[in-house]
């Protein structure tokens, strides 16, 4: 394309913020707005990469431009190249100045066009031009350190050495020197080369003056700093004179040193405090560094380095306190008694690192507080849920502003003793990020062979954690990294049976809620039947949190009735009153399948929230022998379904199934509650039984549930979580439970309530389960 002077042309326009392009120079601009990207595309596709670069007057405008919104003079440019997707980086080569006469918006292409004429430059008096160029070159050479960087100075000198003419020099300097947008616009508008050179001299002089003003400000700051230093020296001399005259100015430091020396602090802490005090006294009192050093000394001294509480050695008393606070939990209580007994005989013993794991609401956190009360120790709790920064455990380095110790050291500072009970709650909820992995930092804390010299980044000195009784809590062990789990002494806190919940409610929850709601014990009485009814019809949980909330709700309603004078005597809560206060039952007496159904078998599942029943539904329909699986299944459960189907294919004649079914029909296996993720191999026997039931059209009783992994040979392999699974079966009204024979040893540990009320049948092979369920 050619653009002749005086000829009106129409091409796309790039409307820019704070950017001015000059002829004979190159520049880079970033385009984000849609109409700018469209203008670039049209320029490349239809106008041989030519476009006009125009500067908008108001940078806050982003759409609806008119001719008055852009500068009258722009630059005709050619696109050299561009990169990027959302934000385009465009390299432009300036061609000529352009006078814009109209701005046109294209609705279809969503872009702007301009009509313009090119403006040739006017060459003035040659002698004047030479003088102006010489003046500019000398000004830049003499003041380069004031107006441009060293790198820019080298580039400009290189360009000048190759003999650049006055026109190109004026454009080059206008584009290179750090002028404002307004100054650049005026330089571009100048049509006469000498006029542009004169403007450059004025603008360069302004740059020099700006730098001089900045230098004056820096000098004032330096003088102020020198004055502060002088004042500090004079203050130090004054302090010395006061000290010589028996002044009392150094009392605080002396008292601090006396406290450190007179108490059994470790030698390295005494030395550290002395060094930091020396640094503190050399700093200006009002400086940031001095306040940071003072805070560090205060934290160092306030930490317990030798203070220790005496343990309660009366084992009977410890057992009594533990029994007062929690019902059951025999294994946990035995472990604490064992620890105290061994410590009493040996005189010294490293504290164990305990981890209580189990479903929510079973008392893991409150158990830690109870242990501290029984031992007579301080109790500290920190929640680790959601922590993703290693510095939360190890602390921040003192070099950072606002740095502080990690949670371990902060907890020890609150405890004020070196042997507290330290509860690390929700240790399975830790996560990692670019800031490090907190679980890795805990390896040192929870290792008895290392934690005698724990290093916090803020304290910078080893701290002894070996006497701390660390207790961790978790819902699901699978979320704890293996190296960390290896350092923990795992104690399972199981789901509660209905009988255990009854005792907990009567001995703990009801008393607690009566006191919390301002009632007296003689004003409210719960019958056993009412408590059982709340457990069975209004809660469905492994722990007792929801049970506590329901009891609290009843207590609140009783309080309202007492305040409004509706009742005055003792209120006896029976089943009818429970219905009246709590409303419609949330759960049926059973969640098991109603009656006998074809292709429906009840499995048993174990989750981090306790046990649950798992209905499995199977149906067949005409197809090509495909297996359809639904219910948000994990890979292991999908494999279990495939294994079950392959076993049935291999043994079809044994169960009276026609082989043609596997080629002429599709089999669909569904696990209800499709939004809940499910995985694991323990439903294999139940899946196999459900498929056989469907293909033989034989119903299975809803009173039967089963659990067990199945192999391709039909063998029933043992599973985990038997206690939680059988409790879930009992809660749901199941009468008979089939389990692998190898799990017989685990039945002895089941609650008596489960053993008395469930008919537990052992199976070595899945065919035994099919025989029992289908009478085949």
Catalytic residues: 682, 725
- 524 vs 538: CA distance, rounded Å: 20
Strands 596-598 and 571-573: unpaired
| H/E stretch holding 607 | strand 600-607
> Taking the alpha carbons of 653, 656, 658, 661 in that order, is the dihedral positive or negative?
negative
Identify the CA nearest to 496 among candidates 744, 753, 746.
753
H/E segment holding residue 679: none
| Rounded Cα–Cα distance for residues 81 and 153 (Å) | 27
CA 368 centroid distance within chain: 26
What are the DSSP calls for 350-384, one per residue?
PPPEEEEE-STTSSHHHHHHHHHHHHT--EEEEE-
Distance CA 7, CA 406 (A): 74
Counting DSSP H helices and E strands in the chain, the numbers are: 28, 26
Q: Which of 185, 112, 346, 375 is nearest to 354 (CA)?
A: 375
Q: Which of 610, 731, 538 is nearest to 361 (CA)?
A: 610
**Torsion angles phi and psi, residue 622, rounded to 5:** -55, 135
For helices 545-563 and 575-582, give the axis angle rounded to 10 degrees: 90
Cα–Cα dist 676/630, whole Å: 11
Cβ atoms within 10 A of the Cβ of 29, count? 19
CB atoms within 10 A of CB 93: 15
Helix, coil or strand: residue 763: strand
- Alpha carbon distance 175, 164 (integer Å): 15
Measured between alpha carbons, how far is 693 from 483 in angstroms, rounded to an integer?
45
- Is residue 51 within 8 Å of 13, Cβ to Cβ? yes
Q: How many CA atoms, within 13 angstroms, populate the side-chain half-sphere of residue 738?
A: 30
Angle subtended at Cα 742 by Cα 740 and Cα 745, rounded to the nearest 5 degrees: 115
Buried b (16+ CB within 10 A) or exposed e, 735-760: ebbbbbeebeebbeebbeebeeebeb
Residues 413, 458 contacting (CB under 8 angstroms): no
Q: At what angle do helices 166-176 and 193-244 cross, to 10 degrees?
A: 40
Query: 157-193: string of b/e by CB count within 10 Å (b at 16+)?
Result: eeebeeebebbbbbbbbbbebebebebbbbbbbbeeb
The 3-state secondary structure of 19-81, one letter per residue:
CCCCCCCEEEEEECCHHHHHHHHHHHHHCCCEEEEEEECCCCCCCCCCHHHECCEEEEEEEEE
């Amino acid at each position: 394309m050619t653009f002749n002077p005086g000829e009106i042309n129409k091409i796309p326009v790039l409307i820019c913020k704070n950017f001015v392009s000059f002829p004979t120079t190159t520049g880079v601009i970033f385009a984000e707005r849609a109409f700018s990207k469209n203008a670039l595309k049209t320029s490349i596709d239809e106008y041989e990469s030519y476009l006009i670069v125009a500067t908008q007057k108001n940078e806050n405008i982003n759409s609806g431009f008119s001719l008055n919104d852009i500068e009258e003079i722009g630059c005709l440019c050619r696109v050299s190249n561009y990169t990027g997707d959302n934000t385009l980086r465009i390299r432009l080569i300036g061609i000529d100045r352009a006078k814009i006469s109209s701005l046109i918006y294209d609705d279809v292409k969503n872009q702007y066009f301009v009509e313009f004429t090119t403006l040739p430059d006017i060459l003035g008096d040659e002698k004047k031009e030479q003088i102006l160029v010489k003046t500019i070159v000398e000004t830049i050479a003499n003041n380069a350190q004031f107006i441009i960087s060293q790198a820019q100075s080298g580039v400009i000198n290189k360009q000048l050495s190759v003999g650049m003419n006055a026109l190109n020099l004026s454009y080059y300097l206008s584009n290179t020197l750090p002028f404002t947008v307004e100054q650049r616009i005026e330089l571009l508008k100048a049509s006469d080369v000498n006029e542009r050179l004169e403007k450059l001299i004025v603008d360069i002089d302004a740059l020099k003056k700006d730098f001089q003003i900045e230098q004056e400000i820096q000098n004032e700051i330096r003088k102020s700093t020198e004055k502060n230093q002088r004042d500090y020296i004079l203050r130090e001399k004054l302090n010395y004179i006061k000290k010589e005259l028996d002044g009392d100015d150094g009392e605080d430091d002396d008292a601090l040193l006396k406290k450190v020396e007179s108490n059994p602090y470790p030698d390295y802490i005494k030395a550290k405090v002395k060094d930091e005090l020396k640094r503190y006294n050399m700093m200006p009192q009002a400086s940031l560094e001095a306040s940071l050093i003072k805070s560090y000394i205060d934290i160092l001294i306030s930490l317990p380095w030798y203070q220790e509480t005496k343990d309660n050695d009366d084992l009977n008393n410890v057992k009594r306190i533990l029994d007062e606070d929690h019902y059951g939990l025999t294994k946990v209580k035995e472990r604490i008694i064992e620890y105290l007994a061994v410590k009493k005989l040996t005189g010294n013993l490293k504290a164990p690192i305990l981890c209580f794991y189990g479903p929510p609401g079973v008392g893991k956190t409150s158990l830690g507080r109870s242990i501290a009360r029984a031992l007579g120790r301080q109790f500290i709790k920190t929640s680790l849920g959601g922590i993703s920064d290693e510095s939360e455990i190890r602390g921040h380095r003192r070099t950072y502003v606002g740095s502080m110790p990690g949670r371990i050291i902060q907890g020890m500072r609150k405890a004020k003793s070196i042997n507290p009970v330290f509860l690390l709650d929700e240790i399975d909820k830790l996560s990692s990020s670019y800031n490090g992995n907190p679980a890795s930092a805990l390896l040192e804390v929870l290792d008895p062979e290392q934690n005698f010299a724990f290093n916090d980044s803020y304290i910078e000195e080893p701290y002894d954690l070996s006497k701390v009784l660390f207790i961790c809590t978790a819902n699901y062990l699978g979320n704890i990294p293996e190296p960390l789990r290896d350092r923990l002494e795992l104690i399972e806190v199981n789901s509660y049976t209905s009988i255990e919940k009854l005792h907990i409610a009567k001995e703990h929850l009801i008393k607690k809620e009566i006191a919390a709601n301002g009632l007296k014990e003689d004003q409210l009485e719960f019958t056993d039947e009412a408590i059982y009814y709340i457990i069975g019809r209004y809660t469905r949980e492994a722990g007792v949190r929801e049970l506590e909330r329901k009891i609290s709700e009843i207590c609140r309603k009783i309080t309202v009735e007492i305040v409004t004078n509706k009742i005055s005597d003792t209120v006896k809560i029976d089943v009818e009153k429970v219905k009246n206060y709590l409303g419609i039952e949330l759960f049926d007496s059973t969640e098991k399948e109603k009656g006998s159904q074809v292709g429906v078998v009840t499995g048993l599942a174990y989750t981090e929230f306790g046990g649950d029943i798992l209905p499995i539904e199977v149906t067949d329909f005409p197809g090509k022998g495909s297996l359809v699986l639904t219910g948000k299944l994990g890979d292991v459960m999908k494999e279990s379904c495939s294994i079950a189907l392959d076993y049935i294919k291999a043994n079809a004649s044994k169960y009276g199934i026609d082989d043609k079914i596997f080629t002429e029909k599709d089999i669909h296996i569904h696990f209800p509650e499709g939004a809940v993720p499910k995985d694991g191999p323990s439903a294999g026997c139940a899946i196999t039984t459900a498929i056989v039931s469907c293909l033989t059209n034989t119903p299975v009783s809803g009173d039967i549930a089963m659990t067990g992994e199945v192999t391709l040979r039909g063998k029933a392999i043992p599973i985990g979580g038997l206690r939680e699974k059988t409790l879930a079966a009992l809660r749901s009204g199941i009468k008979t439970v089939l389990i692998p024979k190898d799990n017989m040893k685990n039945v002895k540990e089941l609650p008596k309530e489960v053993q008395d009320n469930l008919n537990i049948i052992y199976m070595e092979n899945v065919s035994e389960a099919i025989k029992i369920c289908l009478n085949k």
